Amino acid sequence: MVAKFGRQFEEGVLSFLLVTMTLLVFVEVVLRFGFNTGIHWAQEVTLHASAWFVLFGISYGVKVGAHIGVDAVIRLLSPELKRVFSIISVLLCLVYCGLILIGAWVYLQKVYAIGLAMEDAPTPAIFMALIPEDMMWDVFKIDEEEPLLPMWIAHGPLLIGFILLTVRFLEVLKKLITGEWMEMHMADEGKEALEDAGFSSENVKLDDEGEKK
């Protein structure tokens, strides 16, 4: 139940971000070319929404095995060696996540301390209505006279996204160590292309020149 809710929540967030980007770009194009006007904050919000989409999508891609890997050599190894090399790969990925998390935390701390805000994107009105006045600047770093969205909120998904990615890699590492998985699950574009064409990748053989028999 919890896993199903988590999956639906992730997919809902990604869908919302994708729809938001699409609608903003569509409306902005119509306004610019049809009415010679526009929304001054649309470009900035679209840019950050696309960044959020990528940051949240990375961990989801690990979860569903949608990432592409260079595994031409790995495929030639025995199942046990595949598992060993997969564990090493996951450990290296966790080191990378740790470095990014440290850098993101330091960056967001400095941005928060300085009180930097976005150039055009305003703080959503619902947030302004819910936040008490005495906490507006002291806690959230929102300038009441010019309530632009604080940069630490806009760039917060950098930290959140890599926390989620770290959790995903830890889940993969657990499955590899316990033997539930023998290798990392990744996308196979060749197999998917064959299946889309109506062929079974297990039954298709290639001749010496790479032509399908």
Give tens-digit pLDDT for 158-186.
999 999 999 999 999 999 999 898 888 77
- What's at 52, amino acid-wise? W
- Per-residue pLDDT tens digits for 97-109: 999 999 999 999 9
Q: Using alpha carbons only, give the angle 152, 144, 151 rounded to the nearest 5 degrees.
A: 15
Q: Does residue 3 or residue 165 have the better pLDDT? A: 165
- Neighbouring C-beta atoms of residue 134, cutoff 10 Å: 8
In a domain, residue 201? The reply is no
In a domain, residue 210? The reply is no
Predicted local confidence at residue 207, as pLDDT: 47
In a domain, residue 209? The reply is no
In a domain, residue 207? The reply is no
In a domain, residue 112? The reply is yes
How many domains is the chain built from? Answer: 1
Q: Which domain holds residue 166?
A: 2-196
- 31: pLDDT strictly greater than 50: yes
